[in-house]
Amino acid sequence: MDVLKKVPVREQDPKVRATNFEEVCLGYNEEEAKEEASRCIQCKNPKCVAGCPVSINIPGFIKEVENGNHEEAAKIIAESSALPAVCGRVCPQESQCEGRCIRGIKGEPISIGKLERFVADWSREHGFVPAAPEKTNGKKVAVIGSGPSGLTCAGDLAKLGYEVTIFEALHEAGGVLTYGIPEFRLPKEGVVQPEIDNVRKLGVKIETNVIVGKSVTIDELLDEEGFQAVFIGSGAGLPMFMGIPGENANGVFSANEYLTRSNLMKAFRSDYDTPIVAGQKVAVVGGGNVAMDAARTALRLGAEVHVVYRRSEAELPARVEEVHHAKEEGIIFDLLTNPIEILTDEKGWVNGMKCVRMELGEPDASGRRRPVEVEGSEFVIDVDTVIMSLGTSPNPLISNTTKGLDINKRKCIIAEESTGQTSKEGVYAGGDAVTGAATVILAMEAGRAGARGIHEYLSAKE
């Protein structure tokens, strides 16, 4: 065994996986996990823990894996995280825990994410469920949104004895974990649902199909429905568009809508008749992780897929691993290319996308080189479907319908980082609704902070 290298993880072959929605990464088995765990040098002052937004005792759980005590490992992780099987799969570990690992200085860091995933999968397969509180304290808290921030806040409050109800606008719980991230990176029935069920087992109620701001307002929850505090974890689900001609054509989707149709409306299953326009030639505009997910989904639905991005490969905001997987599967990257018009046929359907070539100029405020149009470089890409993946912002419904709730210029709710306290008494917020589109683990950290804030507030009131 080469201690400088990670134990390799098995993956589906790119040619095979490009035609199915099965998980790409197959994870470690017990033997591989034990071997990888034995590479951890158990630092006295573990930098990986400082790199984890929810401060999991990483060396602690890895030691238990090395010793074969998987249930103990699961208990250690459960102290800090309600969604380990999710985080083990989708966290950007390279810039967090693994990015700080001492082993990474001379060789490859410990595969912390894959070990977390192994423990979480082992617990699920062996029926390990985190302990629920023995009795409640009779205080009711409402949580808006069942994404990672809402689930984490609800789980932490339930462990403290609160009676928590999550109100979710969609018909299924999980937020982006359920409607956004594709099945081939994060299986829903096998991985996401069991972790949501574990939160339910702590005593949390989840009411779906309730749009707060329409079905009921925050003021009504507090004044009429008997809730003593509210946590807003409503995410940032409102897509942005370019504002170019033809964007209203049939066959133009936001990445969120496209992925929702695939995930939640099960367009990826042949036994479902979901309208998704499984185009023959699809352009995905944008270069972030969401663009990679949309592109890889369209590929699996049978299309030739172009990612159209106005800067060069070095500036692609998506994780290197995602770009690598997309290329392996056959996605075509049209870099330094910017759309200026979506062309349509006589029936209003997409019939090509007019683009210009770009070159990189001086760095802009973000430090990245500014793309500048090359004069006279217009050309048409032959596509019949366009997916816009240009970022999202929070939906203003909640802020528009709640008295005294302050938001900033980007429509994000203003909340204190350490407690989630907003401008309105008894109302806390966290996750993408506060930061704008970010990551699962940062949303979970905010959910934990919100639970602490609400507990302090309600304890002080007593």
Contact status: 21 vs ligand FAD (CB under 6 A)? no
Asked if 397 touches ligand FAD (CB under 6 A), the answer is yes
**Closer by beta carbon to ligand FAD, 89 or else 281:** 89
Among 109, 251, 420, 431, contact with ligand FAD (rule: CB under 6 A):
431
Which tokens hold the place of 72?
Answer: 């103990």
Which residues have CB under 8 Å from 236's CB, separation 6+? Answer: 392, 393, 394, 395, 412, 432, 433, 436, 437
According to CB under 6 A, which one of 170, 199, 350, 429 is a site residue for ligand FAD?
170
Tokens for 81? Answer: 């995280």
Beta bridge partners of 212: 216
CB 222, min distance to ligand FAD, A:
15
**What is the spatial distance between Cα 205 and Cα 143, in angstroms, rounded to a whole number?**
10
Return the closest-CA partner of residue 255 out of 207, 306, 289: 289
CB 332 within 8 A of CB 308: no
Burial of 437 (0-12, 13-18, 19+ CB in 10 A): middle
Which residues on adjacent β-strands are paired with residue 165?
142, 205
Considering CB under 6 A, how many residues would be counted as binding ligand FAD? 42
Between 238 and 244, whose beta carbon lies closer to ligand FAD? Answer: 238
Give the number of other CB atoms < 10 A from CB of residue 256.
21
Q: Which of 198, 234, 297, 422 binds ligand FAD (CB under 6 A)?
A: 234
| Contact present, 98 and 111 (Cβ < 8 Å) | yes
Quick one: which of 27, 59, 148, 203 contacts ligand FAD (CB under 6 A)? 148
Interaction between residue 235 and ligand FAD (CB under 6 A): yes
Measured CA distances, 22 to 14, 26, 188, 189, 267 (Å): 12, 10, 11, 12, 14
Q: Which stretch binds ligand FAD (CB under 6 A): 47-55, 114-122, 272-280, 430-438?
A: 430-438
Is 395 among the residues that bind ligand FAD (CB under 6 A)? yes
Instruction: Tell which one of 57, 81, 149, 254 touches ligand FAD (CB under 6 A).
Output: 149
Q: Is 439 in the site for ligand FAD (CB under 6 A)?
A: yes
Applying CB under 6 A, the span of 114-122, 147-155, 337-345, 406-414 interacting with ligand FAD comes to 147-155
In the chain, DSSP finds a helix count (H) and a strand count (E) of 19, 18
Query: Is the CB of 293 or the CB of 334 nearer to ligand FAD?
Result: 293
Told to check if 259 binds ligand FAD by CB under 6 A, we report: yes
Q: Which amino acid is at 345?
A: D
Per the structure block, which two tokens stand in for 113?
A: 């994410």
- Give 237 or 286: the residue with its C-beta nearer to ligand FAD: 237
Give the range of 35-43, 197-205, 353-361, 392-400 binding ligand FAD by CB under 6 A: 392-400
Among 295, 443, 449, 458, binds ligand FAD (CB under 6 A): 443
**DSSP-derived pairing of the beta strands 238-239 and 392-393:** antiparallel
- The amino acid present at 303, given as its one-letter code, is A
Select from 74-82, 221-229, 302-310, 428-436 the region that touches ligand FAD (CB under 6 A): 428-436
Q: What is the 3-state secondary structure (H, E, C) of 200-222?
A: HHCCCEEECCCCECCCECHHHHH
* Binding-site ranges for ligand FAD (CB under 6 A): 90-92, 144-150, 167-170, 175-176, 180-181, 210-213, 233-235, 237, 259, 289-290, 293, 395, 397-398, 431-433, 437-441, 443
